[in-house]
Amino acid sequence: MSDAPHKISHSTVSTLHHIHKKLTELNSQIGRGPRQLQAGIKAIETLKASEQQAKDALQQAKIACDRKQLQLKEREQRVADLKAKLNTAASNREFQTFKEQIAADQQANGVLADEILEAMEKIDELGRELKLRTEDLNQREADHASLQSEVDARVSVATAERERVMEELAVAEEQLPDDAVEIYQRLIRSHGEDGLAHVEGQSCGNCGATFAPQVLNRLMLSHFICCPTCGAILYMTADSVSE
């Protein structure tokens, strides 16, 4: 590393590290926003499908009930027609036949009327079910809308904060010696905040590698040194020595 800079202000690197950690946190907050909404969107889709199912079931039940009612009306008309025919019966036998037909039709109509009552009860039940599902859906949509505005607010605060921190970053980066900029940029591009590492005691705060005393001595003299193990630019602060 012959073309590496010899010295660097450790306090500048410390500031940069702090800023990059903050940026990582802000980026994660901003990225988390849409994910927090995913579960709600999915739940709403499921509830919508469930509401639609209930609507379809209700509609089918109504159609079936209408059909039975129409059928009953037709059969009642037939009974009325048969009753009218009783007076015109040409023989006793024909009269009896009409009577039997009327009795059979009336019995069938009784069964049909019971079925219609059952169908109407079913319609009531399906109507109540649909109402519950619609209420569930509306509640969930309202909850989602308020979560959406919370998330939007959080993301917008974090985005504004990120802009501010990016400005801080630009100011801090100007403090880097020219010959350190390229190495620094490359490390940040590939490793983000882990491209910089605080020296903790005798070890790298990023990868935990332990340094030889001569490395520590050079660090104390503000030398520019990258961790031999993880490659991060090392910096010492007052805390480093006490740790």
Based on the shown chain and the rule CB under 5 A, indicate whether residue 30 belongs to the binding site for Zn ion.
Answer: no
Q: Is 204 in the site for Zn ion (CB under 5 A)?
A: yes
Q: Give the bridge partners for 49, in sequence order.
A: none
Interaction of residue 196 with Zn ion, rule CB under 5 A: no
Measured CA to CA, the distance from residue 197 to residue 228 in angstroms comes to 12
Contact call for residue 15 and Zn ion (CB under 5 A) = no
DSSP string spanning 157-198? HHHHHHHHHHHHHHHHHTTS-HHHHHHHHHHHHHHGGGGEEE
When asked if residue 207 is in the footprint of Zn ion (CB under 5 A), the reply is yes
Q: How far is the CB of 232 from Zn ion (least distance, A)?
A: 5
Q: How far is the CB of 150 from Zn ion (least distance, A)?
A: 39
Among 188, 206, 226, 235, binds Zn ion (CB under 5 A): 206
Residues 6+ apart with CB under 8 A from 164: none
Other CB atoms within a 10 A radius of the CB of residue 153 amount to 11
Nearer to Zn ion, 176 or 204 (CB): 204
Q: What is the SS3 assignment for 233?
A: strand
Contact 180, 1 (CB under 8 A): no
Residue of 179, 202, 230, 237 that binds Zn ion (CB under 5 A): 230
Stretch binding Zn ion (CB under 5 A), from 64-72, 112-120, 161-169, 223-231: 223-231
Does 227 contact Zn ion by CB under 5 A?
Answer: yes
- Verify binding: residue 215, Zn ion, rule CB under 5 A: no
Distance CA 67, CA 72 (A): 9
Indicate the residue among 98 and 235 with the shorter CB distance to Zn ion.
Answer: 235
- Per CB under 5 A, residues contacting Zn ion are 204, 206-207, 209, 227, 229-230
